[in-house]
Amino acid sequence: MNNDELLLKILECVEFGKVNKDAPYPPGMKGQDGADELTGLALKQGIKPSDILNNALIIAMERVGQKFSEKKIFVPQMLVSAKAMNKALEHMKPYFRSGEVKRKGKFIIGTVSGDLHDIGKNLVAMIVEGAGWEVIDLGVDVNSQKFIQHIKENSHAVVGLSALLTTIMHNMKTIVYDIKAHFPKTRLIIGGAPVNEQFRAAISADGYARDPLGAVAYLNSLIT
């Protein structure tokens, strides 16, 4: 398999959720090497880690995000694609740490205080990481202080706030206010079922995304 063919196979494994050789999903790829084995092989063959990231993983997750936005796939398919992507990224971590492969930036994300829902937040985190960003996932029920602490440690990070419950929207407003009071230049993007563009404007957040692909588009728009 030449380099171009290998990159294409990695892309397909991530797009369709083929994690490794033992994984039974998808049925049409049963018994074949998955993202795990193929990424390791690509590095052994001398393919640059940056090429694996840019020409396979990022493209694959863009396709997954687009399909999800168009309702051609649903949460279970996204989760297996994300699992395949994460297996590939495990091989890439030494190159991220060494600086050989550059991330686009840092993204801090959390579900706001009072809300314990995490599926939407997790999907955004997975797609954003697959798009080449370093993700710092704070989990659920995250208050202003925890966001502020991590922004202090990652001064140029973009921050994402997630909420599913209408009754929790006021907490999102409070957190945006608190973060902006400490870090007026920090970019904040919000998302979740009860929020919309009008709510974003009302609480002075910088961006709104209705789905993971929208979050990636917003983040990429900040790169200069």
Instruction: Give the pLDDT of residue 10.
Output: 98
**Mean pLDDT, residues 114-140:** 93
Instruction: Give the pLDDT of residue 110.
Output: 98
Q: How many CA atoms lie less than 13 Å away from 15 in the CB half-sphere?
A: 16
pLDDT band at 130 (very low <50, low <70, confident <90, very high): confident
SS (H, E, C) the chain: CCHHHHHHHHHHHHHHCCCCCCCCCCHHHCCCCCHHHHHHHHHHCCCCHHHHHHHHHHHHHHHHHHHHHCCCCCHHHHHHHHHHHHHHHHHHHHHHHHCCCCCCCEEEEEEECCCCCCHHHHHHHHHHHHCCCEEEECCCCECHHHHHHHHHHCCCCEEEEECCCHHHHHHHHHHHHHHHHHCCCCCEEEECCCCCHHHHHHHCCCEECCCHHHHHHHHHHCCC
Instruction: Give the pLDDT of residue 161.
Output: 98
The pLDDT of residue 224 is above 70 = no
Show the domains of the chain with their CATH numbers.
Answer: 3-98 (1.10.1240.10), 106-221 (3.40.50.280)
The pLDDT of residue 12 is above 90 = yes
**Mean pLDDT, residues 151-170:** 95
CB 18 within 8 A of CB 12: yes
Rg (Cα) of the chain, in Å, rounded?
Answer: 18
Q: What average pLDDT does the structure give for the chain? A: 95
Highest mean pLDDT among 13-17, 69-73, 93-97, 116-120: 13-17
**Mean pLDDT, residues 81-110:** 92
Q: What is the pLDDT of residues 19-71, one digit of tens each?
A: 999 999 999 999 999 999 999 999 999 999 999 999 999 999 999 989 998 99
Phi, psi at residue 109, to the nearest 5°? Answer: -135, 145
**Mean pLDDT, residues 171-190:** 98
Phi, psi at residue 158, to the nearest 5°? Answer: -90, 145
The pLDDT of residue 124 is above 90 = yes
Structure tokens at 180: 């902006």
Peptide bond into 184 cis (omega under 30): no
Instruction: Give the pLDDT of residue 99.
Output: 86
Total Cβ atoms within 10 A of residue 184? 7
The pLDDT of residue 185 is above 70 = yes
The pLDDT of residue 104 is above 70 = yes
> Is the Cα dihedral 47, 52, 54, 59 positive or negative?
positive
Total Cβ atoms within 10 A of residue 223? 9
- Please name which of 224, 191, 223 lies closest in space to residue 209, comparing C-alpha atoms: 191
